[in-house]
């Protein structure tokens, strides 16, 4: 009985990951891509996307849910890249330059986002989502009008023919895959030969170490306390609002760096649209990895990125194969991305409700009394 | 009540630390700018208008030890490079002579023209500022009432008879 219950609990806890894995495996025979091809693509995408997903961790620790406002950081990263392209700064120093330009912008935007989210406690996710739309308008104004008029742009071929505003797509060939190719290892042989972007992995590993270290610091502990209960944390003397703002600032700055890494891997910068889907795909990835709006870990990130992109690689091609329409495969991405976010949030709400009911039943002397007592004792501490 | 504690005055020491961090930040930006500054080098093998230099019949040029490329009269190539100092390895097909020339593009802007015949002949300056042509389409007259100024006959107001 207990075994059946624990299996049920495992399935319930990992429902999204299990569903993704099942759909992905079912699509593999129809996608027409070889297994080594799928693995290579997943390894590349891991280096490209995981940094952005790690940026979501700290706001979750601080109880602010999934930071849809990370798009602001992505915009800051893009502004940094625009200046790197305009001033013709190439290679890894170009990426560092873009990051250095983007950092103060993302700190300001993160602070702004944090202040707004502090005014909307309990509704951080939807507020962040709408804030991203609002800031998108300002970003569009900035790149469409300010650049080339108030801020001079030296490189004529990135400016629209009217003399101001940036072109839709910027060629970043001087920065393209510079981090990936900095330390590219080829392992295996024949069909099973894989290129590993080791430099990207090293950057990612340092970021993960930073998160692990940060959790152990006083500020990290404060964030956990704020995430558990803001009132209790405030009573304990923790500056709640300041801690929440710091969480969002760090998340926004990391999103800025993540976007730079993402774009250098892609090789082109879609000036007006590239940041739109940043938060959306990062959040989908962390949810697929088994995280929720209140609980996440580094393992969720890696599982999520691999699973989501596994599905992104195989399903469009499988969709094309099954329906015979090349265009329809692309709809799978949007459908899957939005679907997983909605499904995960609904599942999370349902699980929360179940847990609450179970605990209440326990307090009334039901079968989960031990769990309820444990919670009560934990709260007393 | 959830909030931040009352703010305290900033000490002189803290101001100095902040100032140092800002200075370090600016230095980092300048260093990354200088380390990563890229230039476009236009390698040119053509006659000069005044007839002082004649294009080489055939030449192989390698920039900074990269794979060499062949240039024939009126050939021009564009290569992106990092940094200001570069080395040209040139081999003239006609006599098999080999040259190694060093150039410094500092202060010449992002686009630099290098004349291979001048480099080989040792005529200065072999390196000059280059202004690439950028196509700018002609401005269309702005028509009030349209978003982008384009003429849409269907959108024009009709004149009542």
Long-range contacts (CB closer than 8 Å, 24 or more residues apart) made by A126-132: A128/A65, A128/A66, A128/A67, A128/A68, A128/A69, A129/A68, A129/A69, A131/A68, A131/A69, A131/A72, A132/A68, A132/A69, A132/A71, A132/A72, A132/A279
- Distances in Å between the Cα of A25 and the Cα atoms of A13, A29, A282, A318, B161 are 20, 8, 22, 11, 70
**Number of helices (H), then strands (E), in chain B:** 2, 8
Q: Hey, of A63, A92, A100, A153, which one would you mutate to test binding to chain B, going by the most B CBs within 10 A of its CB?
A: A100
Interface test with A, best of B1, B2, B109 (most A CBs within 10 A): B2
Phi first, then psi: what are they for A246, rounded to 5°? -65, -40
Mean pLDDT of chain B: 81
CB A315 within 8 A of CB A23: yes
CA B55 to chain centre: 24
Helices A240-266 and A198-216: crossing angle, nearest 10°?
Answer: 180
Q: Are A367 and A357 in contact (CB under 8 A)?
A: no
| Paired residues of B85 in beta bridges | B104
Q: Which of A142, A14, A6, A5 is nearest to A83 (CA)?
A: A142
The reply to whether residue A91 touches residue B82, judged by beta carbons under 8 angstroms, is yes
Backbone angles phi, psi at A45, to 5 degrees: -70, -25
Residue A363 is predicted with a pLDDT of 77
CB contact under 8 A, B1 and A242: no
For the segment B73-120, what is each residue's pLDDT rounded down to a tens digit?
989 999 999 988 999 999 999 888 999 999 998 888 889 999 999 999
pLDDT tens per residue, range A98-156: 999 999 999 999 999 999 999 999 899 999 999 999 999 999 999 999 999 999 998 88
pLDDT of amino acid A336: 73
% of chain A at pLDDT higher than 70? 93
Best CA proximity match to A160, nearest among B149, B156, B139, B52: B139
pLDDT of residue B2: 47
pLDDT at position B81 is: 92
| Residues in contact with A89: Cβ distance below 8 Å, sequence separation at least 6, in sequence order | A97, A98, A174, B32, B33, B36, B37, B38
Angle at A47 between CA A43 and CA A48, to 5 degrees: 110
CB atoms near residue A93 (< 10 Å): 22
Report how far residue A264's alpha carbon sits from residue A282's, in angstroms, rounded to the nearest whole number.
17
Per-residue pLDDT for B160 more than 80? no
Q: Report how far residue B140's alpha carbon sits from residue B147's, in angstroms, rounded to the nearest whole number.
A: 13
The residue of chain B nearest to residue A94, with distances taken between CA atoms, is B36
Cα maximum dimension of chain A: 75
Q: From CA B23, how far away is CA B17, in angstroms rounded?
A: 10
Mean pLDDT along residues A358-376: 66
pLDDT in tens, A185-216: 999 888 899 999 999 999 999 999 999 999 99
Give yes or no for B39 touching A (CB within 8 A).
yes
Q: Per residue in A314-337, pLDDT tens?
A: 888 888 888 877 677 767 767 777
- The answer for residues whose C-beta is within 8 angstroms of residue A54's C-beta and 6 or more apart is A204, A207, A208, A211, A254, A258, A298, A301
At A371 the pLDDT is: 58
pLDDT for B108: 87
The predicted pLDDT at position B131 comes to 83
Interface residue A100 vs chain B (CB under 8 A): yes
Q: Name the helix (H) or strand (E) containing B39.
A: strand B38-45
Classify each residue of A24-55 as buried b or exposed e, where b means 16 or more C-beta atoms within 10 Å of its C-beta: beebbeebebeeeebbbbbbbbbbbbbbbbbb
Q: How far is CA A65 from CA A47, A113, A124, A133, in A?
A: 24, 14, 7, 18
Greater model confidence, B161 or A282: A282
Quote the pLDDT of residue B63.
92
User: Over the stretch A217-276, which tens digit does the pLDDT of each residue have?
Assistant: 999 999 999 999 999 999 999 999 999 999 999 999 999 999 999 999 999 999 999 998
Supply angle C-alpha A121, A349, A342, rounded to 5. 95
Show the domains of chain B with their CATH numbers: 1-36 (no CATH), 38-129 (2.60.40)
Omega of the bond leading into B24 within 30 degrees of 0 (cis): no
Q: What sign does the dihedral B143-B149-B154-B155 (CA atoms) show?
A: negative
Report the gap between the CA of A15 and the closest CA in chain B (Å): 36
ipTM above 0.85? no
Q: Rounded distance, CA A160 to CA A215, Å?
A: 46
Determine contact: A189 vs chain B, CB below 8 A: no
Tell me the two tokens of residue A313.
Answer: 């690689």
- Judged against a pLDDT cut of 80, whether residue B7 lies above it is answered with no
Note whether B38 contacts A91, CB cutoff 8 Å. yes
B35-77: pLDDT as tens digits = 999 999 999 998 877 777 888 999 999 999 899 999 999 899 9
Q: Is the pLDDT of residue B5 over 70?
A: no
At which residue do the structure tokens 């739109």 appear?
A276
Q: How confident is the model at residue B149 (pLDDT cuts 50, 70, 90)?
A: very low
């Amino acid at each position: 009985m207990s075994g059946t219950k624990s299996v049920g609990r495992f399935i319930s806890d990992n429902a999204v990951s299990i569903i993704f894995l099942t759909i992905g495996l079912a699509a593999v025979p129809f996608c027409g891509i070889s297994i080594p091809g799928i693995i290579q693509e997943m390894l590349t995408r891991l280096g490209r996307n995981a940094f952005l997903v790690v940026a979501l961790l700290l706001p979750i620790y601080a109880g602010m849910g999934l930071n849809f406002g990370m798009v602001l950081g992505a915009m800051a990263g893009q502004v940094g890249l625009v200046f790197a392209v305009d001033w013709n700064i190439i290679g890894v120093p170009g990426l560092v330059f873009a990051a250095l330009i983007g950092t103060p912008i993302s700190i300001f935007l993160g602070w702004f986002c944090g202040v707004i989210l502090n005014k909307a406690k309990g509704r951080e996710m939807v507020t962040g989502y709408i804030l991203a739309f609002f800031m998108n308008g300002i970003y569009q104004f900035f790149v469409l009008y300010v650049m080339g008029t108030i801020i001079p742009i030296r490189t004529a071929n990135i400016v629209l023919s009217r003399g101001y505003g940036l072109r839709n797509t910027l060629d970043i060939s001087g920065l393209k895959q510079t981090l990936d190719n900095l330390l590219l290892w080829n392992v295996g042989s024949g069909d099973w030969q894989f290129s590993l972007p080791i430099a990207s992995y090293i950057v990612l590993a340092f970021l993960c170490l930073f998160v692990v270290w940060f959790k152990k610091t006083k500020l990290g502990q404060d964030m956990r306390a704020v995430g558990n209960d803001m009132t209790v944390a405030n009573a304990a003397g923790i500056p709640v609002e300041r801690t929440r703002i710091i969480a969002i600032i760090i998340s926004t700055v990391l999103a800025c760096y993540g976007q730079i890494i993402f774009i250098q891997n892609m090789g082109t910068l879609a000036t007006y649209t590239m940041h739109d889907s940043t938060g959306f795909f990062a959040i989908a990835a962390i949810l697929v990895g088994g995280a929720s709006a209140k609980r996440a870990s580094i393992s969720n990130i890696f599982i999520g990125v691999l699973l989501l992109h596994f599905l992104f690689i195989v399903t469009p091609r499988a969709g094309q194969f099954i329906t015979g329409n090349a265009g329809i495969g692309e709809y799978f991405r949007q459908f899957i991305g939005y679907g997983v976010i909605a499904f995960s949030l609904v599942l999370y709400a349902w699980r929360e409700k179940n847990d609450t009911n179970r605990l209440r039943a326990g307090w009334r002397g039901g079968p989960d009394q031990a769990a309820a007592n444990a919670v009560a004792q934990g709260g007393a501490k | 009540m959830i909030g931040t504690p009352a703010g305290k005055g900033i000490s002189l020491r803290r101001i100095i630390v902040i100032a140092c961090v800002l200075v370090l930040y600016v230095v980092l930006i300048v260093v990354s700018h200088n380390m990563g500054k890229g230039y476009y080098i236009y390698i040119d093998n053509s006659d000069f208008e005044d007839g002082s230099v004649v294009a080489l019949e055939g030449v192989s040029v390698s920039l900074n030890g990269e794979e060499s490329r062949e240039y024939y009269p009126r050939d021009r190539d564009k290569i992106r490079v990092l940094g200001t100092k570069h080395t040209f390895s040139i081999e003239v097909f006609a006599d098999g002579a080999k040259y190694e020339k060093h150039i410094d593009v500092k202060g010449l802007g992002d686009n630099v023209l290098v004349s291979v015949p001048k480099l080989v002949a040792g005529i200065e300056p072999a390196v000059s500022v280059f202004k690439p042509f950028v196509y700018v389409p002609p401005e269309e007259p702005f028509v009030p009432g349209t978003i982008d100024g384009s003429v849409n006959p269907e959108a024009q107001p009709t004149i009542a008879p």
